[in-house]
Chains A and B, each alone.
Chain A
Amino acid sequence: MRARLVAAVVAALIIGGCTSPTAAGSPQINDVTVFAAASLTDAFNKAGDEFAKTNGRVRFIFNFGSSSTLATQITNGAPADVFASADEANMQKIVDAKLTDGAPALFAGNRLAIAVAAGNPKQVASLADLARPGLVVVLAAPTVPAGRYALDSLAKAGVKVTPASQELDVRSVLNKVALGEADAGIVYVTDVLSAGARVGNVAIPEQQQVVARYPIAIVTGAKGRQLARTFVDYLIGADGQRLLAGFGFSRP
């Protein structure tokens, strides 16, 4: 008798957990899972909050990481609704795997900057200075968009740098500089802005710059397809663009 009661309770819990409540008048909470490049961390967190204010009950589940890792996860079946990449090559992987719902759209741009310790004690002034012997420089790994952009930029400047480490994503580069473990690292301007007073910023002249293009797309099989669409439209729209600009992103 007791065992049957327990079984009934367990069954009810399992069933209850698998379906969402549909009683009339009860609030409906929608989840949107967004896989986004690490450099979008602060901006997307804010965007999620802003979006939720005007679009009812929506809960964002963000997964920030290097675009290449995220792309691999999605092609292996990770449950993303939206994918925002830091470069077009990684987005292409998803497109090639026929996992996009509609064509990707460019929604933001970014440029590179040199992050240094606050106050720039080692007097780094340009990309050429990064080749200075004795200077501890970290870059993102070449398989990560930020890493490839950095190598492109250095190639444009004709500078050969031997980094002390190839970090797994651009945020790790920023952290190593902020912690004082590295003297300099090449990151996005948005990263330097988000770090505030913890790091110093050395600008890269336009002729050595690389423009990062950020595409965004809906992933097929997205559960909250409608809501995901609305979020993407928001980001591409005026309000979203204004928000992104506030974090240092440029127009795509």
Chain B
Amino acid sequence: MRAERPPLPVTILAVLAIAFFVLPIAGLVYRAPWATALDELTRPEALTALRLSLVVSLAATALAVLFGVPLAWVYARVPFPGKNVARALTTLPMILPPIVGGVALLFAFGRTGLIGQFLDAGLGLRIAFTTTGAILAAAFVATPFLVLTVEAGLRSMDRRYEEAARTLGASRWLVFRRVTLPLIAPALFAGAVLSWARGLGEFGATITFAGNLPGTTQTLPLAVLIALETRPEVAVMLSLLLLAVSLVILIALRDRYLRFS
């Protein structure tokens, strides 16, 4: 079957749109110091930043799943007064400029913050300037993605399967574990991947709340900015590294989505 020819203005706009996204990446590839690429990427600072980025983003995703799935379940299944307000508040980090998020975290969990001062005074627990802080900052911006996706999945699934499971004798926890979760697995996976991608690229909230220290809080995006000041070629290589990881994530996501749709 022959596909329909798109109208000319649509084609032009689409080509321009693709160019808009491809050109910056082409710019990076063009400016990359390919001769010394491997040396730059295997320097300890680069590897440390990459390792830290992976640890922080994966930990943030784990937190997002741990807290996000129950939250999504409550939003999708439990009516309670003020639900719309709660949902708006927990979606805010998605829209908020990350720096604002970082400042907010600082004022809540920093040493002089709302909760932070008790943590510091009572438990000697400091969150800012630690890897934990970086993980929290990433989780703060990443969790809403997971909640949104999983909630949509829960709403669109056929709840009668859960009823059938209950008539077969399954407790509510068993129903969730063996019926609900498998049925929303595609949505959960997509949400987790989106969270991970967001956490991987997190910068503004991290620098404001967790700070910038190689090995502790200097994730890959921060390393790129620092490198840009004195050694731009290293910045380019690190950027391409982040780009490659992001591409892999996106391609993996697309596959999964298609298989279950």
Contact = CB atoms under 8 A, between A and B. Distances in A.
Q: Is A in direct contact with B (CB under 8 Å) within the complex?
A: yes
Nearest to B126: A136
Contacts, number: 57
Contacts of B198: none
A167 interface: yes
A86 to B, nearest CB: 13
B144 interface: no
Given A66-B229, A69-B228, A143-B226, A180 B111 contact: yes
A69 B228 CA distance: 7
B211 A167 contact: yes
A28 B94 CA distance: 44
Interface in B204-224: 207, 210-214, 217-218
Contacts of B186: none
Nearest to B214: A166
A168 B110 contact: no
Interface residues on A, range: 20 to 34
B213 A165 contact: yes
Interface in A51-98: 66, 68-69, 71-72
Contacts of B111: 136, 180-181
Given A138-B211, A167-B211, A69 B106 contact: no
Contacts of A69: 228-229
Given A168-B212, A181-B111, A68 B217 contact: no
Interface residues on B, range: 20 to 34
Given A141-B229, A164-B211, A165-B213, 17 more contacts: A66-B229, A69-B229, A141-B212, A143-B230, A164-B128, A164-B129, A165-B129, A165-B212, A166-B213, A166-B214, A166-B226, A168-B207, A168-B212, A181-B106, A181-B110, A181-B111, A181-B129
26 contacts: A66-B229, A69-B228, A71-B229, A136-B126, A136-B129, A138-B129, A138-B211, A141-B212, A143-B226, A164-B211, A164-B213, A165-B129, A165-B213, A166-B212, A166-B218, A168-B225, A176-B211, A179-B110, A179-B112, A180-B111, A180-B112, A181-B106, A181-B110, A181-B111, A181-B112, A181-B129
Interface of A: 66, 68-69, 71-72, 136, 138, 141, 143-144, 163-168, 176, 179-181
